Structure 1
Amino acid sequence: MSTYQMGPQTHAVPMSLFRDNRNRVKSALCESQKFESRTFVLLEGGKDVSFNDTDVDFHFRQESFFQYMFGVKEPGCYGVVSLDNGESVLFVPRLPEEYSVWMGHLHTLEEFKSMYETDRVLYCDQLDEFFSKANPSLILTLSGVNSDSGLSAKPATFPGIEKYVQNCDILHPIIAECRVIKSPEEIEVLRYVAKVSSDAHKQVMLKIKPGMTEYQGESEFLHHSYSVGGCRHTSYTCICGTGLNSSVLHYGHAAAPNNRVIRDGDMCLFDMGANYCGYAADITCSFPANGKFNDDQKLIYNAVLDARNAVLKEAREGVSWVDMHMLAIRVMLQRLKEGGILKGDVDEMIAAGLGAIFQPHGLGHLIGLDVHDVGGYLKGQPERPTEPGVSRLRFARVLKANMYVTVEPGCYFIDCLMDKALADPNMNKFLNNEVYERFRNFGGVRIEDDVWIKKDGCENFAIVPRTVAEIEEFMSGR
Structure 2
Amino acid sequence: MVPSSLSQQYLQHIQQQFSQTCQLLSEQGYGRLLIAAGDINYHFRDDGDYPFKLNPYFASWLNLVEAAGSWLIIDCQASKPTLLYYFPEDIWHQPAPLDDALVQQAFEVVSFDHPKELPQWLASNEEKIAYIGPAQACIKNLTNCTTNCESLLTAIDYYRAYKSDYEQACIRQANEAAVLGHRAAAEAFYRGESEYQIHMAYLQATQQLDNDQPYNSIIALNEHAAVLHYPHKSRQQPASPKSFLIDAGVSVAGYAADISRSYAYQPGVFADLIIAMHSLQQNLVASLAVGLSYVDVHIQAHRALAAILLEFTLVQGSVDSLLAQGVTSVFFPHGLGHYLGIQVHDRGGWLTDPQGGELKAPQAHPYLRLTRSIEANQVFTIEPGLYFIEPILQQAQQDARGAAINWDAVTALKPWGGIRIEDNILMTETGAVNLTRLAGLV
TM-score (norm 1): 0.82
Change (3 A) 1:34 1:171: closer
- Confirm or deny: 8 A CA contact 1:359 1:409 kept in the other structure: yes
Question: Which residue does the alignment assign to 2:381?
Answer: 406
In structure 1, the gaps of 5 or more residues are 6-10, 143-152, 467-478
* CA 259–327 in structure 1, closer or farther in 2 if over 3 Å, else same: farther
2:399 & 2:288 partners in 1: Cα distance? Answer: 34
1:64 correspondence with 2:50 = no
Matched, 1:293 2:264: no
Correspondence for 1:346 among 319, 322, 331: 319
1:84 aligned onto 2:65: no
State the Cα RMSD in Å: 2.8
Change (3 A) 1:161 1:113: farther
Runs (5+) with no aligned partner, structure 2: none
Matches within 5 A, 1:317-332: 317-332=290-305
What's the counterpart of residue 119 of structure 1? 108
Identify the residue that residue 432 of structure 1 maps to in structure 2.
406
Equivalents in 1 of 2:12, 2:83: separation in Å?
A: 12
Q: Which residues of 2 match residues 375-454 of structure 1 at below 5 A?
A: 375-378=348-351, 380-388=356-364, 390-425=365-400, 427-454=401-428
The change in CA–CA distance for 1:193 and 1:65 in structure 2 (over 3 A counts) is same
Q: CA 1:171/1:26 → structure 2, altered by over 3 Å: closer, same or farther?
A: farther
Deviations 1:190-232 (A, max 9, x none): 11111111111001112323642111111100111117xx996
Q: 1:103 to 1:437 in 2, by over 3 A?
A: closer
Counterpart for residue 174 of structure 1: 155
- Residue 185 of structure 2 aligns to a residue in which SS? helix
Per the alignment, residue 262 of structure 1 pairs with 238
CA distance 1:131–1:414, change in 2 (3 Å) = closer
User: Who is 2:13 aligned against?
Assistant: 20
CA distance in 2, matches of 1:355, 1:60: 40
How many Å apart are 1:113 and its aligned residue?
A: 8.8
The aligned counterpart of 2:142 is 162
User: Which stretch has the larger CA shift, 200-209 or 392-401?
Assistant: 200-209
Contact 1:22–1:81 (CA under 8 A) maintained in structure 2: no
Contact kept? 1:72, 1:116, Cα under 8 Å: no
Matching residue of 2:251:
275
Letter in 2 for 1:128: P
Q: 1:236 aligns with which of 201, 206, 215?
A: 215
Q: For residue 335 of structure 2, what is the aligned residue in structure 1?
A: 362
Structure 2 Cα separation of the partners of residues 407 and 111 of structure 1: 36
Distance in 1 (alpha carbons) for counterparts of 2:100 and 2:418: 52
CA distance in 2, matches of 1:23, 1:433: 56
Distance 2:9 2:118 in 1: 24
SS at match of 2:84: strand
Residue 125 of structure 2 aligns to which amino acid in structure 1? N
Contact persistence 1:21–1:69 (CA under 8 A): yes
Going from structure 1 to structure 2, the CA distance change for 1:368 and 1:83 (only over 3 Å counts) comes to same
Q: Greater shift after overlay, 21-30 or 391-400?
A: 21-30
Q: Kindly provide the CA deviation profile for residues 359-390 of structure 1, in whole angstroms up to 9, marking residues without a partner as x.
A: 010001111111111112346444322422x2
Question: Structure 1 residues 448, 39: closer, same or farther in 2, change over 3 A?
Answer: same
Q: Aligned-pair distance for 1:107?
A: 3.1
What is the percent sequence identity of the aligned residues? 22
The CA distance in 1 between the partners of 2:191 and 2:103, in whole Å, is 52
Q: How many pairs align?
A: 433
Correspondence for 2:193: 212
- SS of the equivalent of 1:174 reads helix
d(CA) in 2 for partners of 1:359 and 1:12? 40
Distance 2:2 2:412 in 1: 52
Q: Post-superposition shift, 1:454?
A: 1.4
Distance in 2, matches of 1:34 and 1:211, equals 59
Give the AA of the match of 2:128: L
Describe the SS at the equivalent of 1:286: strand
When normalised by structure 2's length, the TM-score is 0.88
Deviation at residue 34 of structure 1 after TM alignment: 3.8
Q: Indicate if the aligned counterparts of 2:38 and 2:69 stay in contact, CA closer than 8 A.
A: yes
Q: Secondary structure at the match of 1:452?
A: strand
Query: 2: CA distance between counterparts of 1:106 and 1:303?
Result: 50
Q: Which residue of 2 aligns with 1:190?
A: 171
Structure 2 residue aligned with 1:460: 434
- Distance change in 2, residues 1:383/1:415 (3 Å): same
Could you tell me which amino acid in structure 1 is paired with residue 121 of structure 2? F
Quick one: which amino acid aligns to residue 215 of structure 1?
Y
